[in-house]
Amino acid sequence: MTFRAFRNVSSKALVCAVAVTALAGCATHPKPDAPPPPTNVLEHYKAEVTDVPDQLALGVHASGLSDHQKDALADFVNRWRDAEGGRVVLKLPADAVDAAHAKSMTFAVQTQLERLGVPSENIHLETYAAGAANGPVLASFTRLDAKGPSCAGGWDNLTSTMDNEPYGHFGCALTANIAAQVADPRDLDHPTGLSPADNARREVVIGKYRQGKITSTDKDSQANGATSAAITQ
């Protein structure tokens, strides 16, 4: 083989190698609109945190709020406080037969809410069409709710896992349980802020340390414990 022929063969082989490499790159490159795969199998399922209304319906009584309604309002305010407060909307039935009693009931609810700790500037009065003669007074606010994934169907055959890969529903039950049990859904959306440090306690501990004293708290006698002795006879 002459040098010219060898050069032609080498050039053709180089062109083919470049073409194969380009095709391989095109075959493995993901589509621009395709979502990136999860970096962790536990990220495949995620609890959804959404805003939901918390509403209380109070029947209109000519005598004002009953004891049962006052207890319901107290529970309502506790839930409002757990949700870090916010806007409370009172809706007056605009089509009530006895408009005077409906207005009186609405103001009684507003007074009770303020008495329970809701600031007056957080209470907003509105009207709504009840569609009935004796429509209730509605009190509502918005809170967060966590909803987990549905793990009912689509399970893989867990007896056939020869590829050593996690099954499709891996992490689904865990995420659903966390969403059902979490006390504050905001913890799933963003980290909870740290409370201020106890500087007074810190100064006491540092002062004892500098004096060579024991820095731990005194042991309570109620913290003493012992295992029961075994009876040998």
Least confident of 1-15, 43-57, 165-179, 194-208: 1-15
Q: Grade residue 45 by pLDDT with cuts at 50, 70 and 90.
A: confident
Q: Residue 72 pLDDT more than 90?
A: yes
For residue 27, pLDDT over 90 is answered with no
pLDDT of residue 125: 94
Question: Taking Cα atoms as reference points, which of 51, 47, 40 lies closest to residue 176?
Answer: 47
Cβ atoms of 120 and 158 closer than 8 Å: no
Q: Does the structure show a pLDDT above 80 at 178?
A: yes
H or E stretch covering 161: none
pLDDT at 198 over 60: yes
- Least confident range of 52-56, 61-65, 217-221: 217-221
> What order do you get walking across the sheet with 123-128 strand by strand?
48-58, 137-147, 88-93, 123-128
d(CA 233, CA 225): 24
pLDDT score, position 117: 93
Question: Which tens digits make up the pLDDT trace of 81-111?
Answer: 988 888 999 999 998 888 898 999 999 999 9
Mean pLDDT of 2-10: 47
pTM of the model: 0.57
Question: What amino acid occupies position 230?
Answer: A
| Higher-pLDDT residue of 122, 31 | 122
What percent of the chain stands above pLDDT 70?
77
Specify whether domain 48-144 bears CATH 1.10.8.50. no
Least confident of 19-28, 30-39, 147-156: 19-28
What local confidence, expressed as pLDDT, does residue 12 receive?
53
Q: What pLDDT is stored for residue 157 in this prediction? A: 76
